[in-house]
Amino acid sequence: MDSFKQAREKVARTIRILYRIGYVLDYEGNVSTRTRTANRYSITPSQVPRYKIKASDILIVNEVGEVVQGKRNPSVETRMHLLIYSKRPDAGAVIHFHSLHATALASLHETIPPFLEGMIPYLGENVPTIEYAMAGTEELASNVANSLTQRNAVLLANHGAVVCGKDLQDAFHKALLLEKASTIYLLAKAVGSPRNLPEWVIEAERELFRTMML
């Protein structure tokens, strides 16, 4: 795990990349990591355009969301990030974003089934859309955190997606994989009915997911 300085640099770089690849607009999305210091987390600020967030804009918060270092206001979804860390002791990073195809499926309240090779070990057996709750609420935080006890990615109804990973690089890979799976699922649905992987593969990969978890 990273020191505060390393965490701030990585979190700032990650949210700028998410902006560049179109997963978040100016004030959207949030990124956090668990730092090397117990009960201290780095998280993106609210009200700062994503394309110009720098390391010094990143906050360090404690386990109840109080700012320990930094001058900005922490993300409105800070509670959601902290609840995920408390329910997933293996998680070192969390990313919330609004990529187009994942959000399209979230608007349809779809569940991505186990249909794509390589998806289950990283994301989980499926990626459901959880019930709608307003951004920044305790209800959303608890719906997301509960769903992520079974998987590493979830769709937020009419809103976007959240992924967790063992570190930022891992979580970023999962964000890319979720958007890729969403794109393929939508394309396949547009012309037919996507088929699931064979049952024996799903069973084997379910075990693999449990052993890897992240």
Residues making contact with Zn ion (CB under 5 A): 160
Min separation Cβ 112 and Zn ion, Å: 18
Decide whether 128 or 160 has the Cβ nearer to Zn ion.
160
> What angle is formed at CA 8 by the lines to CA 38 and CA 102, rounded to 5 degrees?
95
Question: Min. distance of Cβ 135 from Zn ion in angstroms?
Answer: 5
> Which residue is it, tokens 């920044």?
136
Out of 77, 110, 138, 203, pick the active-site residue: 77
The H-or-E segment that residue 86 falls in is helix 78-87
77 in catalytic set: yes
Q: How far is the CB of 93 from Zn ion (least distance, A)?
A: 17
Is the Cβ–Cβ distance between 59 and 72 less than 8 Å?
yes
Contact 184, 162 (CB under 8 A): no
The residue (of 140 and 168) whose beta carbon lies closer to Zn ion is 140
- Minimum distance between the CB of residue 19 and Zn ion, rounded to whole angstroms? 13
Q: Which is nearer to Zn ion, 160 or 165 (CB)?
A: 160
Q: Which is nearer to Zn ion, 50 or 166 (CB)?
A: 50
* Antiparallel, parallel or unpaired: β 30-34 and 41-43: antiparallel
Q: Is 46 exposed, middle or buried (0-12, 13-18, 19+ CB in 10 A)?
A: middle
User: Would you name the residues annotated as active-site residues?
Assistant: 77
